Structure formats: C-alpha cells, structure tokens
Amino acid sequence: MMETVRKIIHIDMDCFYAAVEMRENPALVGKAVAVGGSTQRGVLSTCNYEARKFGLHSAMPVSQALKRCPNLVLLPVNMPLYKAVSAQIHGIFRRYTQRIEPLSLDEAYLDVTDCTCCSGSATWIASEIRQAIWEELHLTASAGVAPLKFLAKIASEQHKPNGLFVIRPEEVKAFLQHLPLKKIPGVGKVTAEKLQRLGLHYCADIHGLDPYWLMQQFGKFGQRLWDFSHGIDPREVESNRPRKSLAVENTLPHNIDDFAHAEAIVHQQYQQLTQRLANTGTLPLHAFKKLSIKLKFADFTQTTLERTVEGLTLEHFLYLLTQIWQRRQGRSVRLIGLSVQLPEKSQHNTPLKQLNLWE
C-alpha cells in the first residue's frame, strides 16, 4: 500500500495573551508585560519577551515575578478577548483546510495534505497564514511544517518568535539524528533527568535499543519515545475533537491546613461544576463516572487522585478529598481542583453538546 506523505503545520502564536494586550494598548510596547493571576497568589499565564529577559516564564508565581522584575506591568486575564482573537485566527486557518486540531487558544495543528492552494506547498501555505495573521490581526505566529505531528510541533519552536521552520520528508532522518530527546513533546523534567542518567541524549541514542526495555524504564511513554525517535507518529490531526473533561480549580487566597476549610471549598466548587455541566446538556449526574481531585501544595508540587464511581455526587468528592488529604505530609495547600470526565457521546441517547475551546 502506498503511504501518502502528510503535510502538517503546527501554528503557535508568540506569547499570545501578552501580544494581544500590547496590540490593544501600544503604550505597553517595549515594557515588560505579563498576563496572569490578579493577586500575588496567582501564577503568570504568559509574558512578553521583554519580561523573559528577567527570567520570567509562564506558571511562575506572581510574587516571584515581581521580585525579579519590579517594573513588570501585570495585567488581568481577559479571556473573552483572547477567545475572540483565537476565533479570528481559526477563520484564517479555514481558508486553507477544515482539518484543524486546536491544542489551546493559541496553538493548533493543521493537516493541509489535500489543500490545493499555493500549488499544494505546505511551506507556502504556512507563510501565507503567518502573513495573514500579521496583516489582519497585527500579531505574530511561529509555524512548523513536517510530515509528522510531533515534528511539526518541534519545528514551530525552532525559529520562535515570528519564525518558520520546515522539515521535509527526506530530511526527517537527519533531523532526528541530532534531535535532543528533551525536545520530544511529553518529556518533562523527570523523564529528561532519567534519560540523562541512562546516557540517552539524542534520538540517535534510542536507535537500536529494545523498545520493551524502554517500556520497562518509562512505562507506556517508552513506546512513544521509541516510535518518535524512529520517525513514527501515525496520529491524525483530529478536528472537532470533543472536550474530554470539565474542571473547576482555584488558587486559594491563603494557603490552608485545615480540613474543614478544604471541605467548604470543595462544596463550593461542586456547585460550580454541576452548574457548568448543566449548561452543557441534559445528562443526569449519575452518567458521570470518572471524578478526580487535585491539590497543589505550598512547595508547588501537585497531586491528582482519580476514581471511577457510580455517578457524580458531593459525597464522592468529599471522600476523594479525605483520601488525597493524606498526601499532604504537613504541607499547606494552595490550590484545590475538581474535575469530571465527560462520558463518550455514543453511550447516551441524549447527546452532550460538544464543548469546544471557546466555551
């Protein structure tokens, strides 16, 4: 069977929230700008390149960011605005393909294999998209072009910001030879350190290794490491991928140690969660079987506990809270989150409204 070589573009907007804010208020240009938690307790969502010069990055606590960069302009998150701009960006994507898989408001995969514009050149299409985003929306995007999803994502990082990087099918093998394993999506700090300890630094180091040995070392992810290192990534660009879960989480105004306090917060969050579920459709609460609870501690480590239960109830969440509370080991809690997995559509006669990113 002839395999079609796919043409995948990964588009990633450059410091999106901050860039939108700078566009709305040109007086911010040249200043260190971050968008994020409205209080000292929150974390940064995004910061611009001026702020990054001070070592700021997303997920950094606001208090720490302000210490490093006292002149930082810190703006509240204006989600309705970012969603509106994101919808405009998707409008530009749709001129070229309907096969769009958003990863977040500012990042998406596009499959342009069947697109006939630009003589079918994915590189040319990516250039036109970047140009349209700049001319029409006054924002910059970085793009990666490759025959595989994970490579397209890595490529969009290569010449960031405002850059384009292309990995042609015939270049994949050579590119992988020198690709550091830590660049593979999904390799976090812990995995990277373990790879280092094992003397594995580049994809080339994986070549010739037994995939089962890798799986013993890294679990299921070991298989992915082996596949990616060998240029194997059959994942399709999935448009209209339905949202899989709904979550409510809050960074607390103060760290807490008191269980009764945590119970009261879970109680509130449960009300919010069921309210949001009610907005998504007509499924009864007992149709939701997978619940999870998350705690983030004062030292910023976090833990999640997931359970399959007979339906969504406050009691189940409170029970999960008693369980996860034991992992505290004396640490104060700074964030609590509840989430519920949405059932597959096919199991129910009354379908859930498909939630997309803009809801």
Between 13 and 92, CB nearer to Mg ion = 13
Integer Cα distance of 337 and 324 in angstroms: 12
Q: How far is the CB of 12 from Mg ion (least distance, A)?
A: 4
Span interacting with Mg ion, options 8-16, 66-74, 255-263, 276-284, rule CB under 5 A: 8-16
Q: How far is the CB of 115 from Mg ion (least distance, A)?
A: 23
Q: How far is the CB of 16 from Mg ion (least distance, A)?
A: 5
Q: Where are the beta strands (DSSP E) in the chain?
A: 8-13, 33-36, 44-47, 73-75, 100-104, 107-111, 141-146, 164-166, 245-256, 290-297, 302-308, 333-341
Between 21 and 106, CB nearer to Mg ion = 106
Between 12 and 101, CB nearer to Mg ion = 12
| 101-120: contacts with Mg ion (CB under 5 A) | 106
Integer Cα distance of 43 and 36 in angstroms: 6
Q: In sequence order, which residues have a C-beta less than 8 Å from that of residue 233 and are 6 or more positions away?
A: 148, 149, 150, 151, 227
Between 19 and 166, CB nearer to Mg ion = 19
Q: How far is the CB of 198 from Mg ion (least distance, A)?
A: 31
Binding residues for Mg ion, rule CB under 5 A, total 3
- On whether the CB atoms of residues 294 and 339 are closer than 8 A, the answer is yes
Q: How far is the CB of 162 from Mg ion (least distance, A)?
A: 12
Place of tokens 């879970």: 266
- On whether the CB atoms of residues 246 and 276 are closer than 8 A, the answer is yes
Between 50 and 106, CB nearer to Mg ion = 106
| Catalytic option among 3, 24, 107, 128 | 107
Residue among 6, 7, 11, 12 that touches Mg ion (CB under 5 A): 12
Residue 57: phi, psi to the nearest 5? -155, 165
Span interacting with Mg ion, options 10-18, 55-63, 90-98, 183-191, rule CB under 5 A: 10-18
59 torsion bin: left (phi>0), alpha (psi -120 to 50), beta (else): left
Span interacting with Mg ion, options 4-12, 61-69, 94-102, 254-262, rule CB under 5 A: 4-12
> Counting contacts by CB under 5 A, is residue 227 touching Mg ion?
no
Q: The dihedral of CA 223, 225, 226, 231: what is its sign?
A: positive
| 135 in active site | no
User: Which active-site residues does the annotation give?
Assistant: 107
Query: Residues in the site for Mg ion, rule: CB under 5 A?
Result: 12-13, 106
